[in-house]
């Protein structure tokens, strides 16, 4: 037993948790790959918010599989930094990068809620779909900070509604895909053991 302020003499003490370290590295690797996808992949959709399918779904799946604390937040940060360093744009560029990290925090909070309450996987999948919706709507906030200040015109309000709707749809789909992929990977891992 260790007393506050004195060194521990326990022989089984490890200076860091290897599992957490490996989980963080896995999330970082997925974030790098997702950032490359965001920077270079060209999709035929060209709809607002569709990049969530490229970064949010893999980051969420990695967070669910590794069960790493703040995994989605770290993954979102790494994705944004990778995409921006390669010349890509995510959530409006470097000025709006905190929105991507905040979206990761929302995903982490959703996963934590599901794990703490011990929800069945069906409920976790639905919860993560709605967490993805909220997370992508956070990324949509960049539209409200348009530097031209012209977002108050009636035509632009219609554009904002259009963009917000698509952000919500793609966020929901990304959360759903990430949760289903994470669940499938976990089940495959259990069946191989």
The residue segments making up the domain with residue 111 are: 18-192
Does 44 reside within a domain?
Answer: yes
Pick from 1-10, 46-55, 98-107, 131-140: least confident: 1-10
Does 5 reside within a domain?
Answer: no
Does 10 reside within a domain?
Answer: no
Q: What is the pLDDT of residue 73?
A: 95
Residue 144 in this model has a pLDDT that exceeds 80? no
Q: What is the pLDDT of residue 13?
A: 47
Beta carbons within 10 angstroms of residue 143's beta carbon: 17
Q: Determine the number of helices (DSSP H) and then strands (DSSP E) in the chain.
A: 6, 0
Residue 66 in this model has a pLDDT that exceeds 70? yes
Q: How far is CA 193 from CA 110, 121, 142, in A?
A: 28, 20, 45
Number of domains in the chain: 1
Q: How far apart (Å, rounded) are the C-alpha atoms in residues 132 and 134?
A: 5
pLDDT per residue as tens digits for the range 36-54: 999 998 888 788 889 999 9
Rg (C-alpha) for the chain, rounded Å, is 19
Q: How far apart (Å, rounded) are the C-alpha atoms in residues 126 and 3?
A: 45
Where does the pLDDT of residue 17 fall: very low under 50, low under 70, confident under 90, or very high at 90 and above?
low
Where does the pLDDT of residue 65 fall: very low under 50, low under 70, confident under 90, or very high at 90 and above?
very high
Does 148 reside within a domain?
Answer: yes
Where does the pLDDT of residue 7 fall: very low under 50, low under 70, confident under 90, or very high at 90 and above?
low
152 three-class SS: coil
Quote the pTM value.
0.82
Q: What is the pLDDT of residue 193?
A: 65
Question: Higher model confidence: residue 190 or residue 36?
Answer: 36
Does 13 reside within a domain?
Answer: no
Per residue in 45-77, is it b (16+ CB within 10 Å) or e — as a string? eeebbbbbbbbbbbbbbbbbbbebebbbbbbbb
Does 134 reside within a domain?
Answer: yes
pLDDT per residue as tens digits for the range 78-110: 999 999 999 887 867 787 888 999 999 999 999
Does 12 reside within a domain?
Answer: no
Where does the pLDDT of residue 168 fall: very low under 50, low under 70, confident under 90, or very high at 90 and above?
very high
């Amino acid at each position: 037993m260790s007393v506050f302020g004195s060194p521990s003499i326990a022989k089984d003490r490890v200076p860091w948790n290897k599992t957490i370290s490996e989980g963080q590295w896995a999330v970082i690797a997925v974030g790098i790959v997702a950032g490359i996808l965001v920077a270079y992949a060209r999709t035929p959709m060209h709809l607002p918010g569709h990049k969530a399918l490229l970064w949010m779904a893999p980051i969420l799946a990695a967070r669910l599989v590794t069960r790493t604390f703040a995994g989605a937040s770290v993954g979102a940060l790494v994705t944004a930094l990778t995409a921006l360093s390669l010349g890509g744009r995510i959530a409006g560029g470097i000025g709006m990068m905190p929105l991507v990290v905040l979206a990761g925090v929302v995903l982490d909070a959703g996963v934590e809620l599901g794990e703490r309450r011990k929800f069945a996987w069906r409920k976790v999948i639905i919860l993560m779909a709605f967490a993805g919706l909220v997370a992508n709507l956070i990324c949509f906030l960049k539209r409200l900070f348009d530097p031209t200040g012209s977002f108050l015109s009636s035509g632009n309000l219609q554009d904002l509604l259009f963009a917000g709707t698509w952000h919500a749809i793609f966020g929901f789909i990304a959360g759903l895909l990430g949760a289903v992929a994470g669940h499938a990977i976990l089940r495959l891992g259990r069946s191989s053991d």
